[in-house]
Amino acid sequence: MNKFITYFIHSSIFISINCFLLLYFSFLLYGIKYNFNLLLASFFITFVVYSFDKISCIDEDYKRMQNRSIFIYNNKNLILFGIFISYISAFIFTLITNLYALIIIHFPLLIGMIYSRKIFNVRLKNIIGIKNIVVALSWTIIGTFLPLVINSKEIIIIFFVFYYIFIKLLINTIIFDIRDIKGDSMNGVITIPVFLGLKKSKNLLLILNSTLILWLIFSNNLFYKYFYILIFTIIYGYLYILYFCKNNKMIGKSLDIFVDGEFIIIFIITQISIIYTNLYIP
């Protein structure tokens, strides 16, 4: 079981499923019937971006994430084949759906390539704070705008969906930097947790998560169908921030499971809620 979970996480399949379900939840918030082609496209493009990043940074990541780097090295040819097939799949699924979707789906791919490569001897990945914003923004674009190629919505709803997804993903990227804080410090990589320290980073994350309370208040019942689920996501955010920001906390695969897998948990709760509503509420 441990080997299976390790393979699932290191191969980028797990994070790809989470992106698939993030987009599904976005469809629900908009009140738009989900498009399965776009859900599949989000899965495949996520696999492409994260796998490409892992391969391109395999030597650099070896010092911080030795097990993952060994896995990537041993399966490099298979992963490269998976990247090729996944990109073709993402391209086809978006092309047969909508031309605008094809443009949107390439945004994280473009950012991912820029993010991992040096431009004028500088990488976004190494700029404090910028890399967190860029990574969160790239997937927020997918989650916010792909459903809109199926059905347009008012700008106020788009803003609220964008903000919710962006804050959730921004928190997640910073928490993963907390896991790597020792390795980044040793290698001279200045991330937000390295710059601020653990305590201030935790406070920053708590503040970011708290803005979602105001978000929920000012959304003015735009998402009333999922009000209690949204409350759960905010509480869940507090729980994993407090849990993973403890001093001397040894963080392993649990971070991937409970933070990267957040929208898997949200999906399960959402389905239970939908089933209960259909059965017991006329």
What's the pLDDT at 120?
Answer: 57
Query: With 0-12 CB in 10 A as exposed, 13-18 as middle and 19+ as buried, what is 133?
Result: middle
Instruction: Find tokens 């379900």 and name the residue.
Output: 21
Give the number of C-alpha atoms closer than 13 A to the C-alpha of residue 233, restricted to the C-beta side: 29
Q: Are 12 and 52 in contact (CB under 8 A)?
A: no
What's the pLDDT at 209?
Answer: 97
What's the pLDDT at 32?
Answer: 95
Domain assignments of the chain as residue spans, ordered by start: 2-280
Neighbours of 45 (CB within 10 A): 28
CA distance 224 to 265: 20
What's the pLDDT at 39?
Answer: 96
What's the pLDDT at 221?
Answer: 84
**Which tens digits make up the pLDDT trace of 83-124?**
899 999 999 999 999 889 999 998 888 876 776 666 556 666
- In this structure, what token pair is assigned to residue 271? 């389905």
What's 186-228 look like in SS3? HCCCCCHHHHHCHHHHHHHHHHHHHHHHHHHHHCCCCCHHHHH
What's the pLDDT at 260?
Answer: 86
What's the pLDDT at 2?
Answer: 63
What's the pLDDT at 250?
Answer: 60
**Which tens digits make up the pLDDT trace of 244-271?**
888 666 666 788 888 988 999 999 999 9
What's the pLDDT at 3?
Answer: 66
Q: How far from the centroid of its chain's Cα atoms is residue 251's Cα?
A: 18
pLDDT along the chain (282 residues), means of 10: 68 90 96 95 92 72 62 77 92 92 88 65 71 89 95 94 97 88 74 89 96 94 91 96 78 80 93 80 58
